A and B are shown apart, each in its own frame.
Chain A
Amino acid sequence: MAEKNMVEAIHDAMFEEMKRDDRIIVMGEDVGEGGVFRATDGFVAEFGEERCMDTPLAESCIVGAAIGASLNGIIPIAEIQFADFSHPAFDQLVSEAARLHYRSNGTWSCPIVVRTPYGSGIHGGPYHSQSIEAFYAHVPGLKVICVASPYDAKGLLKSAIRDPNPVVFLEHKKAYRAFRQEIPDGDYTIPIGQAETKREGSDISLITYGMMTHHSLKAAETLEQEDGTSVEVIDLRTVSPWDKERVLGSVKKTGKALIVYEDNITGGFGAEVAATIAQDAFDYLDGPVTRVASPDVPISPYSGILEEYILPNPEKIAEAIRKLAAY
C-alpha cells in the first residue's frame, strides 16, 4: 500500500498498463514533457517518444488518428488537455468512435481511451472548467467514466484501457492533487458501470459523482452531526453505463433521492438519474426527487467570487438535504 494523489494514480495506471502491453501508446499535446498536469511524467524516458507522442495542436485529428491506430493493432490513450478543448473532436467521438462498431455490424471496433481533465473550482474560467459528461452519456457506443479519487481513478482507468470499446475517461481536475489515498500495490481493476456506496445511510439516498462526491460526503457528515439525518452517499463513478440497480435499491430503502452534480441543471446527467428513479421507484418515494446542480450559466466564471456563487458546495447540498429530510 502507498499513499497517492489522483494524478499519481492515473500516471501509475497508464505506466503499468504500458509495461504490461506494448500495444498501448499515449498521444496528445505536451504529453512528451509529462503533460500539463504531469500524468505522463517520465513516460518518454521509459517508453520513448513514439509511445508517448506529442501531437500537433489538433484535437479532431488526435481522436481521429487514435481511432485509425486502434484499427491497426494499437491501443491508444488520447489525452485532450482540457475537456473544454474536446469539442473540436466531438464529431470524431460521436459520429465515428461511437458508431464505428454499430455501423459496421460489429465487424470493426475501436478500443480507444480519451482521457481528459474536466470540472470546475480551480479558477479555470469558462474554458478550463466544463463538465462534458452529459454530451457523451447521451451517445450509445461510448462508455463514460467520471473519477475524483485516486483509488477509483487507477482501477477504472485500467478497466478503460482493457475495454474493447471507446471510453471517455473524465478526471476531475480539482481532485488531481486535493487528496491522497491508500492504494494497493500492483494490479487491480474496478468494473466499468459499478457505483460505490461511499457512506451508508437510512434517511436519504444522495446520488452523485465526480468532485461532488467529496462535497456530498462533507454535507452528509454535517447533517448526521447537526440534525441526526442519515444520508447514504452513492458515487456513480461511471455515468455510461450507470449502476441503476444500486441506485434504485438504495432509494427503495430510504424513500428519498437527492441527486447532486456539478454540471448545469438542465439536461445534466442527474436528470436521467431523476427520471429513472421517478419511473422505477415511484411507489417507494416519500418526497420529491430533488436535484442540486449549477444554474444554467456557462460554467464557470474565472473570478473566484463568481465561480463560488455558481457551483454546488457542501453548504448548498446540506440545505437541500434538510429540505428533503423535512418531507
Chain B
Amino acid sequence: MAITKEAIKTFGLTEEQLLEMHYKMLLARAVSVRQRVLQRMGKGPMTFSGEGHEAVQVGTAFALRPGRDWVFAYYRDVAVALTVGMTPVEILRGFFARRDDISSGGRNMPSHFSHPDLRIVSGSAPIATQIPHAVGAALAAKLRKLDEISVAYFGDGATSTGDWHESMNFAGVHKLPMVFVCEFNGYAISVPWRKQAAIENVAVRAAGYGFPGVTLNGNDVLEVYGAMTEAVKRARSGEGPTLIEAKTYRLQPHSSDDDDRRYRTREEVEQWAQKDPIVVFAMSLHELGVLDDKSEQELNDRVNREVDEATDKVEQESTPEPESALRHVFVEGGASNG
C-alpha cells in the first residue's frame, strides 16, 4: 500500500482531513448510485455516473480554496462539486430538474454543475468546450493580479479536440495560473484510448506546450492530492500551468443510456472494481488507525441518511414554471457595464 504515515505527513493532512476526503468520496458514490436508482425508477430521464473517479475528483478538488478558485467541471465530476461545496440537495435538484436547481433551473442535463458562489462554472455537453473558459478565467486572474487559480477537468477523449490544444497552448504562452486535470478512464464512451491517440500517456504532450505534465494513479486519492498540491503551488506562485493525468476507470456505463457491455469485457470491469478507490482508501485508513469498523459504519450511515433526506426533500420540491423557459435569454434588468 502506497499510503504510509510518513507520506501523509508530507501532505500535511490531519486525521480529520483524511476522514473528510473519505466522506466526500463516499458521498459522491452514494449520490451517483442514488441517481442511477432513481433513473431506473423513472423519476428522471438521465444520469451520468462518476463512480470510480472519486479519488481523482476529491484528491484534486481538496487542494482548492472553495469560492475563490475557479472550477470548470465536466459531467462526471459529482465528487468535485461536492468537495468544493455543493450539497446532495443541490445535485439532486439538478437530477430532478427542480425549479430551485442552482445549476440551471432545469435547463441543462443533470451533472452539468454550476454554482456562482462556489465559482463552479456552468458547462455544456460538447466535449472540452469549457477548457478555453478556464483559460480565460485564469487570464483574468493574472491580469487583475488576483490570487485565484482555475482548474479545468476533462476526460481522455477531450484531449483530441482543438479546444484542448488551443487552451493548453494559450495557457503555456501566458504562463497562466491553472491546472488541467485529465480524468483518464481509458474510454470516450465506447472508444478506447488506443483509438483516441497513439501514445500511452497524454501527459507527455505538456512538454509541447512548455509546462510540466504528470501521470499518476488516479485511484490513489493521496497520490492525486500530492500532485495537485504541487500543481496548485506552481500556479499560485506564477510558474504557470500543469497537466495532471490521473489514470482511473469508470465503474459504470457512461450514462443511463449507455450499455457498456458492448465495448468492455466484464473481466476488465471486475479487475478495476478490485481497485475501487473508495475501498482502497478505506483499507489504508484502517491500517493507519484513522478508521475502525465502528467509525466506518457511522460514516456510511451518515452518508446514506444525508442522501435519503436530500432525496425526500427534493422529490417534494416544485418543478419550474413552464413559462420560465422564456426567461434569461438575455440579462434582465438594468445590469450594464457602462
Q: A and B: direct contact (Cβ < 8 Å)?
A: yes
- Interface, chain A (partner B; CB < 8 A): 21, 23, 25, 50-51, 55-56, 58, 60-61, 63-76, 88, 91-92, 95-96, 99-109, 111, 140-141, 143, 161-165, 189
**4 pairs of A and B residues whose beta carbons are closest in the complex:** A68-B136, A64-B132, A105-B105, A61-B166
**Closest Cβ of chain A: how far from B114's Cβ, in Å?**
5
Known: A50-B143, A106-B105. 9 other contacts (CB 8 A): A56-B166, A64-B132, A68-B136, A68-B140, A71-B70, A102-B329, A109-B331, A162-B336, A162-B338
**Chain B residues in 8 Å Cβ range of A162:** 336-338
A selection of 26 A-B contacts at a CB cut-off of 8 Å is A21-B337, A51-B143, A61-B170, A65-B133, A65-B135, A65-B167, A65-B170, A66-B136, A69-B136, A72-B70, A72-B141, A74-B144, A91-B126, A92-B163, A100-B122, A103-B114, A103-B124, A104-B116, A105-B328, A106-B327, A106-B331, A140-B329, A141-B329, A162-B336, A162-B338, A163-B336
| Contact present for B132 and A67 (CB under 8 Å) | yes
**Does B121 belong to the interface (CB within 8 Å)?**
yes
In B53-106, which residues have CB < 8 Å from any A CB?
Answer: 70, 72, 101-106
**Closest Cβ of chain A: how far from B148's Cβ, in Å?**
7
**Chain A residues in 8 Å Cβ range of B126:** 91, 95
**Closest Cβ of chain A: how far from B156's Cβ, in Å?**
20
**Chain B residues in 8 Å Cβ range of A140:** 329
| Contact present for B329 and A68 (CB under 8 Å) | no
**Chain A residues in 8 Å Cβ range of B163:** 60-61, 64, 92
**Closest Cβ of chain A: how far from B258's Cβ, in Å?**
22
| Contact present for B173 and A56 (CB under 8 Å) | yes
**Does B201 belong to the interface (CB within 8 Å)?**
no
**Closest Cβ of chain B: how far from A17's Cβ, in Å?**
9
Q: How many residues of B contact A (CB 8 A)?
A: 52
| Contact present for B330 and A165 (CB under 8 Å) | yes
**Does B217 belong to the interface (CB within 8 Å)?**
no
| Contact present for A58 and B112 (CB under 8 Å) | no
**Chain A residues in 8 Å Cβ range of B337:** 21, 23, 75, 111, 161-164
- Complex alpha-carbon distance, A108 and B103, angstroms: 10
| Contact present for B144 and A68 (CB under 8 Å) | no
- Complex alpha-carbon distance, A64 and B142, angstroms: 17
**Does B129 belong to the interface (CB within 8 Å)?**
yes
**Chain B residues in 8 Å Cβ range of A60:** 132, 162-163, 166
**Chain A residues in 8 Å Cβ range of B141:** 72
**Does B30 belong to the interface (CB within 8 Å)?**
no
**Does B332 belong to the interface (CB within 8 Å)?**
yes
| Contact present for B122 and A64 (CB under 8 Å) | no
- Interface, chain B (partner A; CB < 8 A): 70, 72, 101-108, 112, 114, 116, 121-122, 124, 126, 129, 131-141, 143-144, 146, 148, 150, 162-163, 165-167, 169-170, 173, 327-332, 335-338
**Chain A residues in 8 Å Cβ range of B146:** 72
Partner of B132, one of A92, A111, A141: A92
**Chain A residues in 8 Å Cβ range of B122:** 100, 103-104, 107-108
Contact (A68, B137) CB under 8 Å given A61-B132, A103-B112, A164-B335: yes
Contact (A64, B135) CB under 8 Å given A103-B112, A103-B124, A108-B121: yes
| Contact present for B137 and A69 (CB under 8 Å) | yes
Partner of A71, one of B104, B136, B144, B330: B136
| Contact present for A106 and B332 (CB under 8 Å) | yes
Partner of B107, one of A102, A109, A161, A189: A102
Partner of B133, one of A50, A67, A103: A67
- Complex alpha-carbon distance, A103 and B125, angstroms: 11
Partner of A105, one of B72, B107, B137, B336: B107
Partner of A88, one of B129, B162, B335, B336: B162
| Contact present for A73 and B134 (CB under 8 Å) | no
| Contact present for A101 and B162 (CB under 8 Å) | no
- Complex alpha-carbon distance, A63 and B170, angstroms: 12
| Contact present for B70 and A105 (CB under 8 Å) | no
Partner of B336, one of A72, A108, A164: A164
**Closest Cβ of chain A: how far from B46's Cβ, in Å?**
15
| Contact present for B114 and A107 (CB under 8 Å) | yes
Contact (A55, B116) CB under 8 Å given A61-B163, A102-B328, A164-B335: no
- Complex alpha-carbon distance, A21 and B132, angstroms: 24
**Closest Cβ of chain A: how far from B78's Cβ, in Å?**
18
**Chain A residues in 8 Å Cβ range of B137:** 68-69, 71-72
Q: Which of A73, A107, A163, A189 has the most CB of B within 10 A?
A: A107
| Contact present for A104 and B336 (CB under 8 Å) | no
Partner of B169, one of A56, A76, A96: A56
- Complex alpha-carbon distance, A61 and B133, angstroms: 8
**Closest Cβ of chain B: how far from A223's Cβ, in Å?**
39
| Contact present for B166 and A105 (CB under 8 Å) | no
**Chain B residues in 8 Å Cβ range of A69:** 136-137, 139-140, 143
Contact (A74, B170) CB under 8 Å given A101-B329, A103-B104: no
